[in-house]
Structure 1
């Protein structure tokens, strides 16, 4: 099981593993600093094709 906490785990590696497992076509990583107040994440600009 992939984890993203602690000193030994790289969150980017975990994100890549999950994206590959889900056969994701697009992946977006957002780094959130701890203790920095409210989380503000800009809306993703993603085009969905049918």
Structure 2
């Protein structure tokens, strides 16, 4: 759910308007063109496994 919301916010920004690219999701990943952006649901930044998000 969180990646879907983030992709939507990238596509439809209330200040800057529509983005020139389309952001979609694939599970916990945001996809923009050929770029895949991994996401995390951790609320504690210290608990985030940063090596998994590379």
TM-score where L is the length of structure 1: 0.31
Higher percent of residues as strand: 2
Higher percent of residues as helix: 2
Q: Which has the higher contact order (CA 8 A, sep 6+)?
A: 2
Q: Which has the larger radius of gyration?
A: 1
TM-score where L is the length of structure 2: 0.30
